[in-house]
Amino acid sequence: MRWVTAIGEAFLAVPFIGGIFVMSTGYSALGVMFILHAITLVLAIRDHSAKSGSILGLATSAFAWIPFVGWFLHLVTAVVLVFQAVLSRPRYY
């Protein structure tokens, strides 16, 4: 789920394209991302893994309607989620 939310956040962080997409959906894309981040947070709690990316994603979804703040928050959240997804991969020995 981290990869799904990271890809979604990265798409929304693309200048102009992400903003146009959010506005064309009537800002419901932010609601969908909020729900996806909430699901990811529940899974992280269940698996005892990093939660900060999902929490940051929830905050991003709440404040992303602010034009330039939203772009920056999407970008930071995407980077954090990618790092967490890479670092939390199961290791097979």
Kindly report, residue by residue over 20-75, the tens digit of the pLDDT: 999 999 999 999 999 999 999 999 999 889 999 999 999 999 999 898 999 999 99
What distance in Å separates the CA atoms of residue 80 and residue 65, rounded to the nearest whole number?
A: 20
Kindly report, residue by residue over 20-35, the tens digit of the pLDDT: 999 999 999 999 999 9
Angle between helices 67-87 and 52-63 (to 10 degrees): 160
Q: How would residue 88 be classed by pLDDT, with cut points 50, 70 and 90? A: confident
